[in-house]
Amino acid sequence: MTGLVIRTTGSWYKVLPLSDGGVPQAASAAVDCRLRGSYRLRGNKQTNPVAVGDHVDYSLQSDGTGVISEVADRRNYIVRKATKLSKQTHVIAANIDRLCIVVSLAPPRTTTGFIDRLLVTAEAYHVPAAILFNKADLYDADLREEYEVLKLIYQGAGYDVRLLSALDGTGVADLRRDLAGQTVLFSGHSGVGKSALLNAIAPQLNLRVGDISQWSLKGKHTTTFAEIFPVSIASSPDRDANAGTPGALYLIDTPGIKEFGMVDIEPAELSHFFPEMRRYLHGCHFANCTHRHEPHCAVKDALDRVDPDTGLPLISAGRYANYLGIFDQIASGNEPW
Ligand code: GDP
Ligand code: ZN
């Protein structure tokens, strides 16, 4: 049998059986599994052999528990260091379909620096990202205009950009439809409305709104381990009734983990994590161009060239400025963030 790991506690793993089509069954069908005694970690860089989000093969025992025999290759995963100085890493979650970055142009306003750091992290982990501009109901004409420009910039870089309001429901039905069947990690600084937005998508979550402590599925659990919450969104009248669209959202919660994952990026490779820069890298005169002060730099040239479709520069000055900021930060100590 195959299943999706939704929780890990010590040597036990909670596994949702997957149907032949790969669709997980209801949370009530979860099976408590252990790892086969002879299972060996491939390589020794990671301290945990099984993480939430893993797809596993398991067999049922007569007592109703399961034994995991195989862990499928991961499409992507996020890690943190096992201990502060360790070279080993701990896999927080695997096979993430989407990172939803919740941001707001109304107070508490999110900076593009924050957005771009998270996007670099998402690129480094190969996790597709969406930027959700929440609190749309509070945007006046100026903020609305600003949103439209940011939308063009980030869409141009290849990201999914959406306008949302947890308060008046703007964009909520579309988001719910598009997240159905996906394993999603929500991130964003406190106060931007993550809890309110999740409640709007799935009211049964009933998360506390307006709590200034760091977001997590409060009251649902007390562990500090990442966990996946299967949330039924099938009962919604807005749901797209397409056959085969599983009516569930698999919400990853990472309590106690301040930022989603840690990354260790060399300054020289940073531009690879800005998709719109990646397009021009081959045009730079120097193969090891850092796109700061080098002559004949195709990235810097693109700052001055205008996209005829949008009327905006091919690479935005704001994104480039954030590139320089992150470059300096990692060059001065290579601190993961
Ligand atoms: P979190 O810290 O990101 O989980 O943010 P919360 O969901 O707790 O929301 C923080 C505050 O913003 C609360 O007072 C919410 O009522 C408010 N809020 C959240 N979403 C919206 C929205 O779309 N519009 C407006 N006007 N307020 C919102
Ligand atoms: Zn260059």
- pLDDT tens-place string over residues 291-313: 999 999 999 999 999 999 999 99
Report residue 234 as tokens. Answer: 């099938």
Count the neighbouring beta carbons within 10 Å of the beta carbon of residue 246.
18
Cα 196 to ligand 1 centroid, rounded to whole Å: 5
Whether residue 238 has its Cβ less than 6 Å from ligand 1 = no
Cα 121 to ligand 1 centroid, rounded to whole Å: 25
Whether residue 217 has its Cβ less than 6 Å from ligand 1 = no
Ligand 1: residue of 132, 135, 205, 217 to mutate (most ligand atoms within 8 A of CB) is 135
The whole-angstrom separation of Cα 312 and Cα 121 is 25
pLDDT for the residue numbered 43: 61
Whether residue 173 has its Cβ less than 6 Å from ligand 1 = no
Is-cis flag, bond preceding 108, omega within 30?
Answer: yes
Query: Is residue 100 classed exposed, middle or buried when 0-12, 13-18 and 19+ CB atoms within 10 A define those classes?
Result: buried
Give 206-262 as a DSSP string: ---SS--SPPS-TTT---SS-EEEEEE-TT-TTS---TT--SEEEEEE-TT-SSS--
Identify the residue with better confidence: 19 or 130.
130
Cα 197 to ligand 1 centroid, rounded to whole Å: 8
- Report the candidate in 133, 192, 193 with the shortest Cα–Cα distance to residue 164: 133
The whole-angstrom separation of Cα 329 and Cα 323 is 10
273-296 confidence digits (pLDDT tens): 999 999 999 999 999 999 999 999
Q: Provide the pLDDT confidence category of residue 246 given band limits of 50, 70 and 90.
A: low
Ligand 1: residue of 189, 209, 253, 258 to mutate (most ligand atoms within 8 A of CB) is 209
Enumerate the β-bridge partners of residue 59: 67
% residues pLDDT > 70 (the chain): 89
pLDDT of 37 higher than 50 = yes
Q: Provide the pLDDT confidence category of residue 90 given band limits of 50, 70 and 90.
A: confident
pLDDT for the residue numbered 13: 96
188-236 confidence digits (pLDDT tens): 998 999 999 999 999 988 888 987 666 677 555 556 788 998 888 854 4
> What is residue 26's DSSP assignment?
-
Identify the residue with better confidence: 255 or 199.
199
Identify the residue with better confidence: 241 or 182.
182
Cα 109 to ligand 1 centroid, rounded to whole Å: 12
pLDDT for the residue numbered 244: 39
pLDDT for the residue numbered 257: 75
The whole-angstrom separation of Cα 176 and Cα 238 is 8
pLDDT for the residue numbered 44: 58
Nearest CA to ligand 1 atom 15: 210
Report residue 28 as tokens. Answer: 């009530």
Q: Provide the pLDDT confidence category of residue 240 given band limits of 50, 70 and 90.
A: very low
Count the neighbouring beta carbons within 10 Å of the beta carbon of residue 82.
16
User: Which amino acid makes up residue 208?
Assistant: R
pLDDT for the residue numbered 161: 98
Interior/surface letters 194-221, b for 16+ CB within 10 angstroms, e for the rest: bbbbbbbbbeebebeeeeeeebbbeeee
40-64 confidence digits (pLDDT tens): 666 656 778 899 999 999 999 999 9
Cα 187 to ligand 1 centroid, rounded to whole Å: 14
Count the neighbouring beta carbons within 10 Å of the beta carbon of residue 185.
26
% residues pLDDT > 90 (the chain): 66
pLDDT for the residue numbered 222: 57
- Which residue is listed with tokens 């930027």? 131
Ligand 1: residue of 167, 186, 214 to mutate (most ligand atoms within 8 A of CB) is 167
Whether residue 168 has its Cβ less than 6 Å from ligand 1 = no
Average pLDDT of the segment spanning 117-137: 96
Asked if residues 302 and 280 have their Cβ atoms less than 8 Å apart, the reply is yes
Give 319-331 as a DSSP string: HHHHHHHHHHHHH
The alpha carbon of residue 330 and the mean position of all alpha carbons in its chain are separated, in whole angstroms, by 21
Whole-number average pLDDT of the chain: 88
The DSSP H or E segment spanning 318 is: helix 317-331
Average pLDDT of the segment spanning 260-275: 89
Query: What is the reported pTM?
Result: 0.91
Whether residue 195 has its Cβ less than 6 Å from ligand 1 = yes
142-156 confidence digits (pLDDT tens): 999 999 999 999 999
